[in-house]
Amino acid sequence: MGLGTTELMIVAGIFILLFGSTKLPGLARSIGKSANEFKKGIRDDSPLDDEGDDADEDNSSDEEDDGDE
């Protein structure tokens, strides 16, 4: 049930009619940059969460130490 050559040609024709042939390269470039930024954000998100949790734990232990003195 995939897209065949005919369907892809029809979709490409519709895109050309809607956006014009001069704007299509810029649109494709913008979509590619957005996808790359999204992927970088997903990859970079995990290490930041771990570091943020450690920092919160360190701050809470410092507050407890100040209260004991």
Note the pLDDT tens digit of each residue in 8-64: 999 989 988 988 888 888 988 999 999 999 999 988 876 545 555 555 555 555 555
Residue 6 belongs to some domain of the structure: no
- Number of domains into which the chain is organized: 1
Residue 3 belongs to some domain of the structure: no
Domain range spanning residue 36? 24-69
Buried b (16+ CB within 10 A) or exposed e, 42-53: eeeeeeeeeeee
Residue 19 belongs to some domain of the structure: no
Residue 2 belongs to some domain of the structure: no
Entry pTM: 0.46
In this prediction, residue 2 carries a pLDDT of 83
Cα 36 to chain centroid distance, Å, stands at: 7
Question: Residue type for 59, please?
Answer: N
Residue 7 belongs to some domain of the structure: no
Residue 64 belongs to some domain of the structure: yes
